[in-house]
């Protein structure tokens, strides 16, 4: 069984956490492992819609991202993915606190992967759940093609 290289995980987190979209939503990848991802975002005023609750698009972005990285970690090197479908269930409104997303790879095939993620509060309340279908794209790498340590040990 393959094992993800901790140096690779550290390098990827250092690359993705300051990316513009992550900064826009103030979300951060906290952990990556083979088939799993953990993201967090502190709810800020910019996340709220007109009624004072976190906008559904924020939940969708976080679910899609956590599911994406959970699947990505199981891919061979020099292979990328992009989302082709996202299904989301909004389960509870949120006005403040921390959003914690746990992503998991459900299945990885030759052309498609299926990931899921759940968002909970700091207290463990289930807020949203969703799945993302991802297409596997050989040669589709991270922006700027950065030099990274080997993906697997």
**Residue closest to 32 by CA, chosen among 69, 86, 83:** 69
Q: Name the CA dihedral angle for 40, 43, 47, 48, rounded to a multiple of 10 degrees.
A: 150
3-26 pLDDT, tens digit each: 999 999 999 999 999 999 999 999
Instruction: For 96-112, write each residue's pLDDT tens digit.
Output: 999 999 999 999 999 99
Q: Give the pLDDT confidence of 118-142 residue by residue, as tens digits.
A: 999 999 999 999 999 999 998 887 7
Residue 143 — very low, low, confident or very high, per pLDDT cuts 50/70/90? Answer: low
> What is the pLDDT, as a whole number, of residue 142?
76
What are the distances in angstroms from CA 139 to CA 22, 79, 145?
23, 5, 10
Contacts of 92 (CB under 8 A, 6+ apart): 125, 126, 127, 128
The shares of helix, strand and coil residues in the chain, as percent rounded to the nearest 5, are 25, 40, 35
The token pair at 67 is 């599911």
Q: Give residue-wise pLDDT tens across range 31-88.
A: 999 999 999 999 999 999 999 999 999 999 999 999 999 999 999 988 999 999 999 9
Per domain, the residue ranges of the chain are 6-138
Mean of the per-residue pLDDT values for the chain? 95
Partners of 31 in beta bridges:
38
CATH topology of domain 6-138: Thiol Ester Dehydrase; Chain A (3.10.129)
């Amino acid at each position: 069984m393959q094992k993800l290289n901790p140096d690779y995980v550290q390098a990827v987190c250092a690359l993705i956490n300051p990316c513009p979209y992550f900064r826009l939503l103030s979300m951060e990848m906290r952990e990556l492992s083979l088939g799993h991802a953990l993201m967090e975002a502190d709810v800020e005023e910019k996340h709220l819609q007109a009624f004072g609750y976190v906008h559904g698009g924020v939940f969708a972005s976080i679910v899609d991202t956590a599911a994406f990285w959970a699947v990505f970690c199981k891919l061979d090197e020099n292979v990328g993915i992009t989302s082709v479908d996202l299904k989301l269930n909004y389960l509870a409104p949120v006005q403040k606190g921390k959003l914690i997303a746990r992503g998991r790879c459900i299945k990885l095939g030759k052309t498609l992967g299926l990931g899921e993620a759940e968002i909970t509060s700091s207290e463990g309340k289930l807020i949203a759940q969703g799945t993302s279908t991802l297409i596997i794209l050989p040669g589709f790498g991270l922006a700027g093609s950065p030099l990274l340590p080997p993906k697997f040990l």
